[in-house]
């Protein structure tokens, strides 16, 4: 999932470069807080697969919401919109796989 996230960011940064913008490698405050929370949770729970899976599900839910927000304001056009829509679909598929794995762990 990390490589998918990096690939998605690189693709969107490519569009920014084409438009004359700079590379975006900063995250939102919420994103930083979430990563810190995941690190702390991993330190406390160790290798608890259920906790790790739950954290990944939660992260994917936030990603899906961000894609929905980006797509709902209708400012994205052309290739950028297609890329975001494709990434959104991939995120939903990943979320569904994670939820399926979560159901198998109960």
| Percent with pLDDT over 70 in the chain | 71
**Which single residue is written with the structure tokens 């960011």?**
9
DSSP label of 22 = P
Instruction: Quickly count helices (H) and strands (E) in the chain.
Output: 4, 0
pTM exceeding the 0.75 threshold for the entire prediction: no
Q: Residue 46: left if φ>0, alpha if ψ -120 to 50, beta else—which one? A: left
Tokens of 20: 């004359």
Average pLDDT of the chain is 79
């Amino acid at each position: 999932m990390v490589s998918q996230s990096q690939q998605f960011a690189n693709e969107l940064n490519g569009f920014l470069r084409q438009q004359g913008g700079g590379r975006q490698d900063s995250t939102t405050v919420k994103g930083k807080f979430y990563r810190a929370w995941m690190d702390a949770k991993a330190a406390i729970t160790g290798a608890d697969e259920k906790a790790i899976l739950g954290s990944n599900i939660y992260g994917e839910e936030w990603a899906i919401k961000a894609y929905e927000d980006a797509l709902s304001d209708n400012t994205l056009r052309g290739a950028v919109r297609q890329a975001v829509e494709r990434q959104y679909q991939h995120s939903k598929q990943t979320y569904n796989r994670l939820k399926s794995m979560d159901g198998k762990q109960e």
